[in-house]
Chains A and B, each alone.
Chain A
Amino acid sequence: MSRKALIVEDQPDIRKLIVMTLEFEDLELHEADNGADGWRLAQGLRPQIMLLDVMMPGELDGYQVCRKVKADPVLARTTKVVLLTARGQQADLEQGQKAGCDAYLTKPFSPLELLDTIDRLCAVTQ
Protein backbone atom coordinates (compact mmCIF):
# COMPACT_ATOMS: atom_id res chain seq x y z
CA MET A 1 0.00 0.00 0.00
CA SER A 2 1.42 3.38 -0.96
CA ARG A 3 2.14 5.93 1.72
CA LYS A 4 0.13 9.11 1.95
CA ALA A 5 1.81 12.49 1.61
CA LEU A 6 0.09 15.79 2.21
CA ILE A 7 1.52 18.92 0.59
CA VAL A 8 0.44 22.21 2.18
CA GLU A 9 1.73 25.11 0.11
CA ASP A 10 -0.02 28.29 -1.03
CA GLN A 11 2.07 28.93 -4.15
CA PRO A 12 0.64 26.82 -7.00
CA ASP A 13 3.94 26.69 -8.91
CA ILE A 14 5.93 25.45 -5.95
CA ARG A 15 3.16 22.99 -5.11
CA LYS A 16 3.33 21.67 -8.67
CA LEU A 17 7.09 21.31 -8.42
CA ILE A 18 6.76 19.35 -5.17
CA VAL A 19 4.12 17.12 -6.78
CA MET A 20 6.42 16.56 -9.78
CA THR A 21 9.20 15.62 -7.37
CA LEU A 22 7.12 13.29 -5.22
CA GLU A 23 5.78 11.52 -8.29
CA PHE A 24 9.18 9.83 -8.46
CA GLU A 25 8.18 7.96 -5.29
CA ASP A 26 5.34 5.56 -4.59
CA LEU A 27 3.21 8.04 -2.69
CA GLU A 28 -0.48 8.86 -2.62
CA LEU A 29 -0.45 12.65 -2.93
CA HIS A 30 -2.87 15.12 -1.38
CA GLU A 31 -2.72 18.90 -1.55
CA ALA A 32 -3.96 21.95 0.34
CA ASP A 33 -3.26 25.60 -0.35
CA ASN A 34 -3.57 26.96 3.17
CA GLY A 35 -2.83 25.98 6.75
CA ALA A 36 -6.41 25.59 7.95
CA ASP A 37 -7.36 23.22 5.10
CA GLY A 38 -4.07 21.39 5.55
CA TRP A 39 -4.83 20.80 9.21
CA ARG A 40 -8.37 19.56 8.44
CA LEU A 41 -7.07 17.21 5.74
CA ALA A 42 -4.33 15.90 8.00
CA GLN A 43 -6.84 14.90 10.65
CA GLY A 44 -8.82 12.86 8.13
CA LEU A 45 -5.96 11.41 6.08
CA ARG A 46 -3.38 10.78 8.78
CA PRO A 47 -0.58 11.01 6.22
CA GLN A 48 2.83 9.45 6.80
CA ILE A 49 4.47 12.60 5.57
CA MET A 50 3.36 16.22 5.60
CA LEU A 51 5.22 18.91 3.66
CA LEU A 52 4.42 22.27 5.12
CA ASP A 53 5.21 25.72 3.83
CA VAL A 54 5.78 28.16 6.68
CA MET A 55 4.47 31.44 5.29
CA MET A 56 0.88 30.93 4.25
CA PRO A 57 -2.04 33.35 4.23
CA GLY A 58 -4.94 32.78 6.57
CA GLU A 59 -5.59 31.62 10.09
CA LEU A 60 -2.73 29.15 10.47
CA ASP A 61 0.84 29.34 9.26
CA GLY A 62 3.17 26.36 8.90
CA TYR A 63 4.56 26.58 12.44
CA GLN A 64 1.07 26.56 13.90
CA VAL A 65 -0.08 23.59 11.79
CA CYS A 66 3.07 21.74 12.79
CA ARG A 67 2.40 22.44 16.47
CA LYS A 68 -1.16 21.17 16.10
CA VAL A 69 0.00 17.98 14.38
CA LYS A 70 2.56 17.32 17.07
CA ALA A 71 0.02 18.02 19.82
CA ASP A 72 -2.47 15.55 18.35
CA PRO A 73 -2.01 12.14 20.00
CA VAL A 74 -2.71 10.19 16.78
CA LEU A 75 -0.92 12.39 14.28
CA ALA A 76 2.09 12.81 16.53
CA ARG A 77 2.70 9.05 16.09
CA THR A 78 1.80 8.68 12.43
CA THR A 79 2.89 11.87 10.70
CA LYS A 80 6.33 13.22 10.02
CA VAL A 81 6.42 16.94 9.27
CA VAL A 82 8.86 18.57 6.88
CA LEU A 83 8.85 22.35 6.95
CA LEU A 84 9.71 23.71 3.52
CA THR A 85 10.40 27.40 3.60
CA ALA A 86 12.27 30.36 2.21
CA ARG A 87 12.97 31.42 5.79
CA GLY A 88 16.46 30.13 6.48
CA GLN A 89 17.62 32.22 9.40
CA GLN A 90 18.77 30.51 12.58
CA ALA A 91 15.77 31.98 14.45
CA ASP A 92 13.42 30.41 11.88
CA LEU A 93 15.06 27.01 12.27
CA GLU A 94 14.74 27.27 16.03
CA GLN A 95 11.08 28.22 15.66
CA GLY A 96 10.62 25.10 13.52
CA GLN A 97 12.29 22.94 16.13
CA LYS A 98 10.11 24.50 18.81
CA ALA A 99 7.06 23.62 16.73
CA GLY A 100 8.30 20.00 16.68
CA CYS A 101 9.08 19.56 12.98
CA ASP A 102 10.99 16.44 11.92
CA ALA A 103 12.95 18.18 9.15
CA TYR A 104 13.48 21.71 7.91
CA LEU A 105 14.35 22.38 4.28
CA THR A 106 14.96 25.84 2.87
CA LYS A 107 13.88 27.08 -0.53
CA PRO A 108 15.14 26.88 -3.17
CA PHE A 109 14.99 23.23 -2.19
CA SER A 110 16.77 20.36 -3.85
CA PRO A 111 14.26 17.74 -5.06
CA LEU A 112 16.83 15.02 -4.37
CA GLU A 113 17.32 16.22 -0.82
CA LEU A 114 13.55 16.34 -0.35
CA LEU A 115 13.13 12.73 -1.51
CA ASP A 116 16.03 11.55 0.62
CA THR A 117 14.54 13.33 3.64
CA ILE A 118 11.18 11.68 3.05
CA ASP A 119 12.80 8.24 2.67
CA ARG A 120 14.75 8.75 5.85
CA LEU A 121 11.72 9.87 7.85
CA CYS A 122 9.46 7.13 6.51
CA ALA A 123 12.10 4.53 7.31
CA VAL A 124 12.02 5.70 10.92
CA THR A 125 8.21 5.46 11.06
CA GLN A 126 8.08 1.90 9.67
Chain B
Amino acid sequence: MPIQPSAQAVISMLERISDPLLVFNVAGAVTYANRAARQAPGSPQTALSGHPQVREVVRAVALGTATLPHHAKVTVTTASGSQDFNCTFIPGLTNVDVAVMLPPPAAAAPAGGGGTTLSLSQIIELLRSELMGPVRELLHSVAEIGPSAQTEQIERASERLNDRLRRLIDLVNVFGDDTLLDDNRVEIPAMVRSVVAELAPEAARQKVRFVTNGDDSELPPLYGSEKLLKRALRECLENAMRHSRREVKASEALLVEIRYLSSGNHLLLSVNNRGASSMQQQRARGMQAFAADEKPAAGGSAGNTQGTPQAGLRIGLPLAKRIVELHGGQVRVGDPEADEVQVLMELPTGAPNRGGSKLDIAQAQKYAADLARLMSRQRKERA
Protein backbone atom coordinates (compact mmCIF):
# COMPACT_ATOMS: atom_id res chain seq x y z
CA MET B 1 0.00 0.00 0.00
CA PRO B 2 1.55 3.32 -0.97
CA ILE B 3 0.54 5.08 2.24
CA GLN B 4 3.19 4.38 4.85
CA PRO B 5 2.20 3.81 8.51
CA SER B 6 4.43 6.75 9.46
CA ALA B 7 2.03 8.96 7.56
CA GLN B 8 -0.78 8.21 10.01
CA ALA B 9 -1.20 11.94 10.45
CA VAL B 10 -2.03 12.26 6.77
CA ILE B 11 -4.66 9.55 7.00
CA SER B 12 -6.23 11.20 10.01
CA MET B 13 -6.30 14.40 7.98
CA LEU B 14 -7.87 12.73 4.92
CA GLU B 15 -10.56 11.26 7.13
CA ARG B 16 -11.63 14.79 7.97
CA ILE B 17 -12.19 15.84 4.38
CA SER B 18 -15.89 16.17 3.64
CA ASP B 19 -15.62 15.15 -0.04
CA PRO B 20 -15.44 11.43 -0.81
CA LEU B 21 -11.84 10.61 -1.71
CA LEU B 22 -10.37 7.38 -3.06
CA VAL B 23 -6.73 6.52 -3.69
CA PHE B 24 -5.89 4.08 -6.51
CA ASN B 25 -2.65 2.22 -7.12
CA VAL B 26 -1.10 1.83 -10.57
CA ALA B 27 -3.26 -1.22 -11.23
CA GLY B 28 -6.42 0.82 -10.69
CA ALA B 29 -7.32 -0.82 -7.38
CA VAL B 30 -8.54 1.22 -4.41
CA THR B 31 -5.91 1.35 -1.68
CA TYR B 32 -7.64 3.89 0.53
CA ALA B 33 -11.14 5.39 0.90
CA ASN B 34 -11.80 8.16 3.36
CA ARG B 35 -14.80 8.21 5.70
CA ALA B 36 -16.92 10.31 3.31
CA ALA B 37 -16.23 7.81 0.50
CA ARG B 38 -17.02 4.84 2.73
CA GLN B 39 -20.36 6.44 3.60
CA ALA B 40 -21.16 7.61 0.06
CA PRO B 41 -24.13 6.04 -1.72
CA GLY B 42 -23.33 3.35 -4.26
CA SER B 43 -20.17 2.17 -2.38
CA PRO B 44 -17.72 3.87 -4.76
CA GLN B 45 -14.70 2.18 -3.14
CA THR B 46 -16.05 -1.21 -4.26
CA ALA B 47 -17.72 -0.10 -7.45
CA LEU B 48 -14.71 1.78 -8.84
CA SER B 49 -11.91 -0.51 -7.68
CA GLY B 50 -10.43 -2.16 -10.75
CA HIS B 51 -13.01 -0.57 -13.04
CA PRO B 52 -11.70 -0.64 -16.63
CA GLN B 53 -12.31 3.10 -17.12
CA VAL B 54 -10.39 3.96 -13.93
CA ARG B 55 -7.58 1.56 -14.88
CA GLU B 56 -7.30 3.26 -18.23
CA VAL B 57 -7.01 6.74 -16.70
CA VAL B 58 -4.48 5.60 -14.08
CA ARG B 59 -2.41 3.95 -16.79
CA ALA B 60 -2.58 7.09 -18.96
CA VAL B 61 -1.43 9.19 -16.01
CA ALA B 62 1.46 6.80 -15.32
CA LEU B 63 2.49 6.94 -18.98
CA GLY B 64 2.22 10.70 -18.98
CA THR B 65 -0.45 10.75 -21.68
CA ALA B 66 -3.12 12.22 -19.38
CA THR B 67 -2.72 15.31 -17.26
CA LEU B 68 -4.27 15.92 -13.88
CA PRO B 69 -6.77 17.04 -12.79
CA HIS B 70 -8.85 14.95 -15.16
CA HIS B 71 -12.63 14.80 -15.05
CA ALA B 72 -14.55 11.73 -16.19
CA LYS B 73 -17.93 10.17 -15.72
CA VAL B 74 -17.45 6.52 -14.81
CA THR B 75 -20.47 4.28 -15.36
CA VAL B 76 -20.72 1.18 -13.20
CA THR B 77 -23.16 -1.46 -14.41
CA THR B 78 -24.41 -4.13 -12.05
CA ALA B 79 -27.28 -6.61 -12.08
CA SER B 80 -29.51 -4.02 -10.37
CA GLY B 81 -28.83 -1.27 -12.91
CA SER B 82 -26.19 1.28 -13.75
CA GLN B 83 -24.77 4.18 -11.76
CA ASP B 84 -22.69 7.16 -12.85
CA PHE B 85 -19.85 8.57 -10.74
CA ASN B 86 -18.52 12.02 -11.61
CA CYS B 87 -14.85 11.53 -10.87
CA THR B 88 -12.11 14.12 -10.60
CA PHE B 89 -8.71 12.44 -10.86
CA ILE B 90 -6.06 14.36 -8.93
CA PRO B 91 -2.45 13.61 -7.92
CA GLY B 92 -2.22 11.01 -5.20
CA LEU B 93 -0.20 11.12 -2.02
CA THR B 94 2.88 9.61 -3.64
CA ASN B 95 4.26 9.59 -7.14
CA VAL B 96 2.81 6.19 -7.97
CA ASP B 97 -0.84 6.58 -7.12
CA VAL B 98 -3.79 8.63 -8.27
CA ALA B 99 -6.57 10.03 -6.10
CA VAL B 100 -10.17 10.45 -7.15
CA MET B 101 -12.48 12.96 -5.63
CA LEU B 102 -16.24 12.54 -5.93
CA PRO B 103 -18.79 15.29 -5.42
CA PRO B 104 -20.46 15.16 -1.99
CA PRO B 105 -23.90 13.46 -2.10
CA ALA B 106 -25.76 16.77 -1.73
CA ALA B 107 -24.02 18.22 -4.76
CA ALA B 108 -24.76 15.25 -6.97
CA ALA B 109 -27.02 15.86 -9.93
CA PRO B 110 -30.67 15.18 -9.20
CA ALA B 111 -32.07 11.94 -10.51
CA GLY B 112 -34.22 12.14 -13.55
CA GLY B 113 -32.21 14.77 -15.33
CA GLY B 114 -34.66 17.65 -14.86
CA GLY B 115 -33.83 20.69 -16.92
CA THR B 116 -37.36 21.30 -18.14
CA THR B 117 -38.67 23.19 -15.10
CA LEU B 118 -37.63 26.64 -13.92
CA SER B 119 -36.77 27.49 -10.35
CA LEU B 120 -38.17 30.63 -8.74
CA SER B 121 -34.84 32.38 -9.07
CA GLN B 122 -34.68 31.47 -12.77
CA ILE B 123 -38.17 32.90 -13.27
CA ILE B 124 -37.17 36.14 -11.57
CA GLU B 125 -33.97 36.30 -13.57
CA LEU B 126 -36.06 35.87 -16.69
CA LEU B 127 -38.42 38.64 -15.55
CA ARG B 128 -35.47 40.87 -14.84
CA SER B 129 -33.87 40.33 -18.22
CA GLU B 130 -37.24 40.80 -19.92
CA LEU B 131 -38.28 43.91 -17.98
CA MET B 132 -35.09 45.82 -17.22
CA GLY B 133 -34.47 46.58 -20.90
CA PRO B 134 -37.92 48.09 -21.59
CA VAL B 135 -37.76 50.09 -18.33
CA ARG B 136 -34.39 51.56 -19.32
CA GLU B 137 -35.74 52.26 -22.79
CA LEU B 138 -38.73 54.05 -21.28
CA LEU B 139 -36.50 56.18 -19.05
CA HIS B 140 -34.32 57.04 -22.02
CA SER B 141 -37.33 58.00 -24.17
CA VAL B 142 -38.75 60.19 -21.41
CA ALA B 143 -35.41 61.95 -21.07
CA GLU B 144 -35.40 62.66 -24.79
CA ILE B 145 -38.90 64.21 -24.78
CA GLY B 146 -37.65 66.97 -22.53
CA PRO B 147 -38.77 68.22 -19.13
CA SER B 148 -42.44 68.66 -18.37
CA ALA B 149 -44.71 67.84 -15.46
CA GLN B 150 -45.95 64.75 -17.25
CA THR B 151 -42.56 63.38 -18.20
CA GLU B 152 -41.31 63.91 -14.64
CA GLN B 153 -44.26 61.90 -13.42
CA ILE B 154 -43.56 59.09 -15.89
CA GLU B 155 -39.88 59.19 -14.97
CA ARG B 156 -40.65 58.88 -11.25
CA ALA B 157 -43.06 56.00 -11.93
CA SER B 158 -40.41 54.21 -14.00
CA GLU B 159 -37.81 54.71 -11.32
CA ARG B 160 -40.21 53.28 -8.74
CA LEU B 161 -40.83 50.29 -10.99
CA ASN B 162 -37.09 49.84 -11.44
CA ASP B 163 -36.55 50.05 -7.69
CA ARG B 164 -39.29 47.48 -7.00
CA LEU B 165 -37.74 45.12 -9.53
CA ARG B 166 -34.34 45.39 -7.86
CA ARG B 167 -35.96 44.73 -4.50
CA LEU B 168 -37.81 41.71 -5.86
CA ILE B 169 -34.57 40.34 -7.22
CA ASP B 170 -32.89 40.75 -3.85
CA LEU B 171 -35.92 39.22 -2.18
CA VAL B 172 -35.71 36.12 -4.35
CA ASN B 173 -31.96 35.98 -3.91
CA VAL B 174 -32.25 35.83 -0.14
CA PHE B 175 -35.25 33.50 -0.01
CA GLY B 176 -33.93 31.10 -2.63
CA ASP B 177 -32.76 27.59 -1.80
CA ASP B 178 -29.27 28.31 -2.99
CA THR B 179 -28.61 31.54 -1.11
CA LEU B 180 -24.88 31.91 -0.77
CA LEU B 181 -23.47 34.60 1.44
CA ASP B 182 -20.17 36.30 0.80
CA ASP B 183 -17.66 36.65 3.57
CA ASN B 184 -16.95 40.35 3.21
CA ARG B 185 -15.54 42.06 6.26
CA VAL B 186 -18.12 44.71 7.05
CA GLU B 187 -17.44 47.64 9.33
CA ILE B 188 -20.78 48.97 10.46
CA PRO B 189 -19.88 52.67 10.92
CA ALA B 190 -18.58 52.87 7.35
CA MET B 191 -21.62 51.03 6.03
CA VAL B 192 -24.02 53.34 7.90
CA ARG B 193 -22.21 56.39 6.53
CA SER B 194 -22.41 55.01 3.01
CA VAL B 195 -26.16 54.21 3.18
CA VAL B 196 -26.93 57.60 4.75
CA ALA B 197 -25.02 59.28 1.93
CA GLU B 198 -26.99 57.29 -0.67
CA LEU B 199 -30.28 58.37 0.91
CA ALA B 200 -29.21 61.97 1.46
CA PRO B 201 -30.92 63.47 -1.63
CA GLU B 202 -34.27 61.82 -0.83
CA ALA B 203 -33.88 62.67 2.87
CA ALA B 204 -33.23 66.31 2.00
CA ARG B 205 -36.36 66.39 -0.17
CA GLN B 206 -38.38 64.98 2.70
CA LYS B 207 -36.68 67.24 5.28
CA VAL B 208 -35.43 64.23 7.21
CA ARG B 209 -32.05 64.35 8.89
CA PHE B 210 -30.14 61.24 9.90
CA VAL B 211 -27.91 61.35 12.94
CA THR B 212 -25.58 58.53 13.88
CA ASN B 213 -24.52 57.71 17.36
CA GLY B 214 -21.96 55.04 18.22
CA ASP B 215 -18.40 54.24 19.15
CA ASP B 216 -16.47 53.70 15.92
CA SER B 217 -13.13 52.78 17.40
CA GLU B 218 -13.65 49.41 19.09
CA LEU B 219 -16.60 48.08 17.16
CA PRO B 220 -16.13 44.47 16.01
CA PRO B 221 -16.63 43.75 12.30
CA LEU B 222 -19.34 41.59 10.78
CA TYR B 223 -18.64 38.94 8.16
CA GLY B 224 -21.18 38.38 5.42
CA SER B 225 -22.60 40.00 2.35
CA GLU B 226 -21.86 43.70 2.41
CA LYS B 227 -24.31 44.24 -0.44
CA LEU B 228 -27.17 42.50 1.35
CA LEU B 229 -26.45 44.08 4.73
CA LYS B 230 -26.48 47.47 3.08
CA ARG B 231 -29.78 46.60 1.48
CA ALA B 232 -31.24 45.64 4.92
CA LEU B 233 -30.09 48.88 6.50
CA ARG B 234 -31.32 50.91 3.57
CA GLU B 235 -34.77 49.31 3.82
CA CYS B 236 -34.95 50.15 7.53
CA LEU B 237 -33.86 53.74 6.99
CA GLU B 238 -36.26 54.25 4.09
CA ASN B 239 -39.07 52.84 6.19
CA ALA B 240 -38.22 55.13 9.08
CA MET B 241 -37.94 58.11 6.77
CA ARG B 242 -41.21 57.58 4.92
CA HIS B 243 -43.32 56.63 7.91
CA SER B 244 -42.10 59.42 10.13
CA ARG B 245 -42.70 61.89 7.32
CA ARG B 246 -46.30 60.80 6.96
CA GLU B 247 -47.01 61.64 10.59
CA VAL B 248 -45.61 65.12 10.66
CA LYS B 249 -46.41 68.31 8.75
CA ALA B 250 -44.38 68.69 5.56
CA SER B 251 -42.86 71.95 6.78
CA GLU B 252 -41.39 70.39 9.94
CA ALA B 253 -37.90 68.91 9.93
CA LEU B 254 -37.54 65.36 11.18
CA LEU B 255 -34.79 63.42 12.84
CA VAL B 256 -34.00 59.72 12.42
CA GLU B 257 -31.36 58.43 14.79
CA ILE B 258 -29.15 55.45 13.97
CA ARG B 259 -27.31 53.96 16.93
CA TYR B 260 -24.86 51.11 17.02
CA LEU B 261 -23.06 49.44 19.87
CA SER B 262 -21.30 46.21 20.67
CA SER B 263 -22.88 43.86 23.19
CA GLY B 264 -20.91 40.67 23.86
CA ASN B 265 -20.71 38.72 20.63
CA HIS B 266 -23.41 40.82 19.00
CA LEU B 267 -23.69 44.17 17.41
CA LEU B 268 -26.87 46.12 18.01
CA LEU B 269 -28.03 48.59 15.42
CA SER B 270 -31.19 50.58 16.08
CA VAL B 271 -33.14 52.99 13.91
CA ASN B 272 -35.35 55.39 15.86
CA ASN B 273 -37.75 58.01 14.67
CA ARG B 274 -37.06 61.12 16.65
CA GLY B 275 -39.63 63.14 14.65
CA ALA B 276 -41.73 65.77 16.37
CA SER B 277 -40.77 64.84 19.90
CA SER B 278 -43.87 66.37 21.45
CA MET B 279 -46.19 64.31 19.28
CA GLN B 280 -46.42 61.12 21.28
CA GLN B 281 -49.58 59.95 19.57
CA GLN B 282 -48.27 60.62 16.12
CA ARG B 283 -45.14 58.63 16.88
CA ALA B 284 -47.27 55.70 17.95
CA ARG B 285 -49.12 55.82 14.65
CA GLY B 286 -45.80 55.85 12.86
CA MET B 287 -44.81 52.65 14.63
CA GLN B 288 -48.03 50.95 13.65
CA ALA B 289 -47.48 51.84 10.06
CA PHE B 290 -43.97 50.40 10.23
CA ALA B 291 -45.06 47.20 11.94
CA ALA B 292 -47.88 46.80 9.43
CA ASP B 293 -45.27 46.19 6.73
CA GLU B 294 -44.95 42.68 8.05
CA LYS B 295 -48.57 41.92 7.10
CA PRO B 296 -50.47 42.41 3.86
CA ALA B 297 -52.28 45.73 3.78
CA ALA B 298 -55.70 45.32 5.35
CA GLY B 299 -58.35 44.97 2.69
CA GLY B 300 -55.97 46.19 0.05
CA SER B 301 -55.45 44.50 -3.25
CA ALA B 302 -52.40 44.93 -5.40
CA GLY B 303 -54.40 47.22 -7.56
CA ASN B 304 -55.27 49.84 -5.01
CA THR B 305 -51.87 50.06 -3.33
CA GLN B 306 -49.64 50.02 -6.34
CA GLY B 307 -49.00 53.71 -6.52
CA THR B 308 -48.47 54.28 -2.82
CA PRO B 309 -45.16 54.20 -1.02
CA GLN B 310 -46.42 51.37 1.20
CA ALA B 311 -46.56 48.97 -1.74
CA GLY B 312 -42.79 49.00 -2.07
CA LEU B 313 -42.26 48.98 1.65
CA ARG B 314 -44.09 45.69 2.02
CA ILE B 315 -41.06 44.07 0.41
CA GLY B 316 -38.69 46.06 2.58
CA LEU B 317 -39.04 44.76 6.09
CA PRO B 318 -39.36 41.05 5.27
CA LEU B 319 -36.30 41.50 3.05
CA ALA B 320 -34.35 43.20 5.84
CA LYS B 321 -35.43 40.53 8.33
CA ARG B 322 -34.46 37.71 6.02
CA ILE B 323 -31.05 39.23 5.31
CA VAL B 324 -30.33 39.69 9.00
CA GLU B 325 -31.53 36.15 9.75
CA LEU B 326 -29.28 34.77 7.03
CA HIS B 327 -26.41 36.42 8.87
CA GLY B 328 -27.44 34.68 12.10
CA GLY B 329 -29.14 37.72 13.59
CA GLN B 330 -32.64 38.98 14.20
CA VAL B 331 -34.72 42.07 13.66
CA ARG B 332 -37.12 43.35 16.29
CA VAL B 333 -39.74 45.95 15.59
CA GLY B 334 -40.52 48.15 18.55
CA ASP B 335 -43.77 48.17 20.44
CA PRO B 336 -45.99 50.87 18.92
CA GLU B 337 -46.74 52.11 22.43
CA ALA B 338 -43.08 52.36 23.47
CA ASP B 339 -41.20 55.63 23.39
CA GLU B 340 -37.96 54.64 21.78
CA VAL B 341 -36.81 51.88 19.48
CA GLN B 342 -38.56 51.32 16.20
CA VAL B 343 -36.28 48.78 14.60
CA LEU B 344 -33.46 46.91 16.27
CA MET B 345 -31.07 44.70 14.32
CA GLU B 346 -29.01 42.27 16.31
CA LEU B 347 -26.16 40.70 14.38
CA PRO B 348 -23.47 38.27 15.51
CA THR B 349 -20.01 39.77 15.28
CA GLY B 350 -17.05 38.11 13.63
CA ALA B 351 -17.14 35.19 11.23
CA PRO B 352 -19.78 32.47 11.33
CA ASN B 353 -18.91 29.62 13.65
CA ARG B 354 -17.03 27.01 11.64
CA GLY B 355 -16.25 24.66 14.50
CA GLY B 356 -17.66 21.62 12.74
CA SER B 357 -16.38 22.33 9.26
CA LYS B 358 -14.10 19.91 7.53
CA LEU B 359 -10.64 20.28 6.17
CA ASP B 360 -10.60 20.99 2.46
CA ILE B 361 -8.83 18.80 -0.05
CA ALA B 362 -6.46 21.55 -1.22
CA GLN B 363 -5.09 22.00 2.31
CA ALA B 364 -4.78 18.25 2.81
CA GLN B 365 -2.86 17.92 -0.47
CA LYS B 366 -0.49 20.73 0.48
CA TYR B 367 0.19 19.12 3.82
CA ALA B 368 0.74 15.70 2.28
CA ALA B 369 3.09 17.21 -0.31
CA ASP B 370 5.19 18.92 2.36
CA LEU B 371 5.20 16.09 4.88
CA ALA B 372 7.92 14.00 3.28
CA ARG B 373 10.19 17.05 2.92
CA LEU B 374 9.51 18.06 6.52
CA MET B 375 10.41 14.60 7.78
CA SER B 376 13.58 14.47 5.74
CA ARG B 377 14.55 17.93 6.96
CA GLN B 378 13.97 16.84 10.54
CA ARG B 379 16.13 13.75 10.05
CA LYS B 380 18.94 15.88 8.65
CA GLU B 381 18.71 18.33 11.53
CA ARG B 382 18.88 15.50 14.07
CA ALA B 383 21.88 13.99 12.29
> B351 contacts which of A13, A14, A57 (Cβ < 8 Å)?
A57
| CB pair A111 B350 closer than 8 Å | no
Residues of B312-364 at the interface with A, using a CB-CB cut-off of 8 Å, are: 348-355, 357-360, 362-363
Please give, as numbers and ranges, the residues of chain B lying within 8 Å of A12 by CB-CB distance. 355
A108 to B365, CA, bound (A): 9
A23 to B265, CA, bound (A): 33
Contact with B along A3-15 (1 / 0, CB 8 A): 0000000111110
Q: Which stretch from B76-84, B152-160, B370-378 is at the chain A interface?
A: B370-378
* Range of interface residues on A (Cβ < 8 Å): 20 to 34
Please give, as numbers and ranges, the residues of chain B lying within 8 Å of A124 by CB-CB distance. none
Contact of B123 with A by CB under 8 A? no
B251 to chain A, nearest CB (A): 45
Contact of A100 with B by CB under 8 A? no
> A59 contacts which of B185, B262, B352 (Cβ < 8 Å)?
B262
Query: Interface centre among B9, B221, B360, B367, by most A CB within 10 Å?
Result: B367
A104 to chain B, nearest CB (A): 15
Contact of A38 with B by CB under 8 A? no
| CB pair B357 A11 closer than 8 Å | yes
Q: A110-B370, A111-B374 are in contact. Are A59 and B220 (CB under 8 A)?
A: yes
Please give, as numbers and ranges, the residues of chain A lying within 8 Å of B378 by CB-CB distance. 24
Residue ID in chain A nearest B362 by CB atoms? A108
Contact of B41 with A by CB under 8 A? no
Please give, as numbers and ranges, the residues of chain B lying within 8 Å of A61 by CB-CB distance. 185, 220-221, 223, 350-351
Q: Which DSSP category, helix, strand, loop or mixed, fits chain B's interface?
A: mixed
| CB pair A108 B354 closer than 8 Å | no
A35 to B370, CA, bound (A): 28
Contact with A along B10-37 (1 / 0, CB 8 A): 0001001000000000000000000000
Q: A10-B355, A14-B359, A57-B265 are in contact. Are A108 and B350 (CB under 8 A)?
A: no
Query: Interface centre among A34, A55, A109, by most B CB within 10 Å?
Result: A55
| CB pair A10 B367 closer than 8 Å | no
Contact of A75 with B by CB under 8 A? no
Residue ID in chain A nearest B371 by CB atoms? A111
Residue ID in chain B nearest A60 by CB atoms? B220
User: Would you give 6 A-B contacts (Cβ < 8 Å), ordered by A?
Assistant: A11-B354, A11-B355, A57-B353, A61-B223, A108-B360, A108-B363
Chain A residues engaging chain B, CB cutoff 8 angstroms: 10-14, 17, 20-21, 24, 33-35, 55-61, 63-64, 87, 95, 107-112, 115
Contacts A59-B262, A61-B185, A111-B367 aside, 4 further interface pairs with beta carbons under 8 A come to A13-B16, A13-B359, A55-B185, A64-B221
- Nearest 5 A/B pairs, CB to CB: A55-B351, A108-B363, A57-B350, A13-B359, A108-B362
